[in-house]
Chains A and B, each alone.
Chain A
């Protein structure tokens, strides 16, 4: 057969069929997989919808100008979230101010400057580990370092510093990912034009990585805003009727206000909790919307 001129052509036909022609079965597998994916998405959406409905249906009736402009009260009808809302916004701003420069600078150092040595790898691993430390541990640390050690007392600043520590690993990791995603050719291009390392980072790498960095920071901020446990340890209190001064006074934030109201046996206060959750959700929504807008603006030119 090998000697036969037609051999190579004839042989495959004579042999057993090598391809499984059942198109039906292959298509079925695809359909099943799609079904599983849809189911997962559906489950998620359903949960979200139930949650939102539960909260909104109870909370929205309580949402009015009075609720947004007054402090907590023993009487549900007169209670409001103003100090908690302002506390949350102040903390969010402070956290952003602290984590943005520190986190981005650390990421730039680790990605753009540090050589890939053992110390650097150890640092990276530890930063990843820090991102997994329970938040209550940060609370204890914040209590020891900021409240007692630095003598800041139970102030909003101490709370913001604690939350900053909590989300810094997340910010650093997200920023490093964003920097790493910038094609190497972009750095080479800037170097080839006579850029110093800082000019390359500043002019070429950072603008390209900015949308990713920003996304990471905003997501981390959302986490900081929703955080409760560490703040309990560093002094956020539940009954604050005045607007907080970051360095001098006690303070509260929305999650803690929610925590307190939700634990109250009276039905009206539980509805107040739902209303406060609504406010917190809106705050997060605004923050995320802001992130999307900024991201879209920054990545106008990014299309590789």
Chain B
């Protein structure tokens, strides 16, 4: 992964630096850097970079931010259980900032479970239990005093099946900002989010129509716009294209590439071509005889698909297994 060229972005992304609304209590920082410090516990002193770096604000595209740690989410020796069933065994991995990381692996190996530990969505499952540490910019998100509600605003999620609310397109996008107490100009934020999700041109004349009136691909982009609207830093995508046709899939992949300038993206996919096409880093997960998932191999996507180190990875990416 280190040998990979960093994504250099010369043009500032068209999100917001200039359009940033005036008084924003939740400190909207368009890029991943330093946001949310208002809500999350302060980062650990060992990491001086990123946070509050002057000039880092509002210029998210400049991934030059050298002081910023390269890792956003880090899983340390994670094990997960659903009741008595162990779904994940001792997984450690890093998610790199402003890259697209793909989690691939056979059905039922725990990819989604792993993804959901990163925004504490699994907390909603009563029988779920987790051991190990998940940190986000150095802060233990399962730590004492950390509210999952705050974590989830900063680590957004897009689901397998498009799930817009049965509300208007506008209200779908505005939902997150509203519940999180956004006090800027909502119209601007909605437009910006829809533009960012490459949906604005298609819906700008029908913002009052139901989100469910859109096609599947449009609905998924609406869900992405909805996620972006809460200004997260990480976007988790759980097989976001599995319910979409190839054209819509391609649109989403292009969108992901575009978004990865500003956001850290983690995608779970069953579609190996998708992982190969759309990700920078690939993590291959499989399960042992007890059906607990573990990480087999992690590396730059190109290497994982062309020159995997592990036999299991090779079998999987070449379609001999899984």
Contact = CB atoms under 8 A, between A and B. Distances in A.
Interface of A: 115-116, 183, 185-196, 199, 203-204, 207-208, 300-304
Chain A to chain B: the 10 pairs with minimum beta-carbon distance, closest first? A194-B153, A193-B176, A192-B157, A185-B163, A301-B210, A301-B166, A199-B179, A302-B166, A194-B152, A189-B163
A236 B292 CA distance: 67
B153 A203 contact: no
Interface string B100-129: 000000000000000000010100101000
18 contacts: A115-B126, A186-B163, A190-B175, A191-B152, A192-B119, A192-B156, A192-B227, A193-B152, A193-B156, A193-B175, A194-B180, A195-B152, A195-B179, A196-B149, A199-B179, A203-B178, A301-B167, A304-B166
B230 to A, nearest CB: 5
Interface of B: 119, 121, 124, 126, 149-150, 152-154, 156-157, 159, 161, 163-168, 175-176, 178-180, 210-213, 223, 226-227, 230
Contacts of A203: 165, 175, 178-179
A172 B269 CA distance: 41
Contact of A207 (B156, B167, B213): B167
**Best-surrounded residue of A116, A192, A199 (most CB of chain B within 10 A):** A192
A193 B166 contact: no
B165 A189 contact: yes
Contacts, number: 85
Given A185-B159, A304-B166, A193 B121 contact: no
A208 to B, nearest CB: 6
Contact of B150 (A190, A194, A204): A194
A170 B57 CA distance: 55
Nearest to B158: A192
B82 to A, nearest CB: 15
Given A188-B121, A195-B152, 8 more contacts: A183-B163, A188-B163, A193-B152, A194-B176, A199-B179, A204-B165, A301-B167, A301-B211
Contacts of A116: 126
B166 A194 contact: no
A193 B163 contact: no
A186 B159 contact: no
A221 B225 CA distance: 42
